Amino acid sequence: AEIKELRGEHQLRRELKLDDTVRVIDDVQGDTLEIIATFEPGTAAAYGMMVRRADDGERAVKIRFDGMQMHITGADPTEVFGSEQGTPELPRPGGDFHVPFSLLPDEKTLTLRVFIDKCAFELYVNGRACFSRAIYSPLEDVGVAVFADGGSAVVKSLDLWTMKPIW
């Protein structure tokens, strides 16, 4: 109930067909957002979304699922913490990470629920995995996009809300 009180403007998209393409969600931008995206895999080698995306698409926090792993990349595009990748025991803050994840036999879709609050990023996947990290995107990077690589996928539903400050 508390989350609903923080929600601002709502946008809903359904049945967005992606065929080896990126689709920018033009009328939704921000650095405080809640997004719930449900994907039907199709033939794509990978699919997902980009948040805190630059207008030219050169920078973004990219959430990519390839059937075997969740890849979260681009959290530190200007290398605030340098270019060293760190070690598996001590990853560099803002560094890319890749985590094993696959759909269960009874799961036909992938649902990503993303919360962005300026430099905080939380991702919930199919209600059973959670990823959290700080992101270091330039202030002007506020775009959102969905994509499919190497084939087709369908965004069955895409709910996007701007979020009000908690204070």
Tell me the three-class secondary structure of 89-105, residue by residue: CCECCCCCEEEECCCCC
49, 53, 56, 58: CA torsion to nearest 10: -80
Average pLDDT for 113-135: 93
> Whole-angstrom Cα distance, residue 94 to residue 88?
13
CA–CA dist 24, 133 (Å, integer): 24
In this structure, of 49-53, 118-122, 126-130, the range with the lowest mean pLDDT score is 118-122
Q: What is the pTM of this model?
A: 0.89
Determine the distance from the C-alpha atom of residue 74 to the mean position of all C-alpha atoms in its chain, rounded to a whole number. 11
- What per-residue confidence (pLDDT) applies to 81? 53
How is residue 100 written in tokens?
Answer: 């094993």
Q: Give the chain's mean pLDDT.
A: 89
b (16+ CB within 10 A) / e for 53-80: bbeeeebbbbbbbbeeebbbbbbbbeee
pLDDT of residue 76: 75
**In Å, what is the CA distance from 87 to each residue of 29, 82, 95, 131?**
34, 14, 10, 18
Residues of the chain by 3-state class (helix, strand, coil), percent to 5: 5, 55, 45
pLDDT value at residue 79: 60
Angle (CA) 95-100-101 rounded to 5° is 120
Structure tokens of 68? 């075997």
Sheet containing strand 143-149, edge to edge, reads: 22-24, 143-149, 46-53, 61-65, 69-73, 97-100
pLDDT in tens, 61-92: 999 999 999 999 987 765 655 555 555 555 55
**Within a 13 Å sphere around the CA of 70, how many CA atoms are in the beta-carbon half?**
20
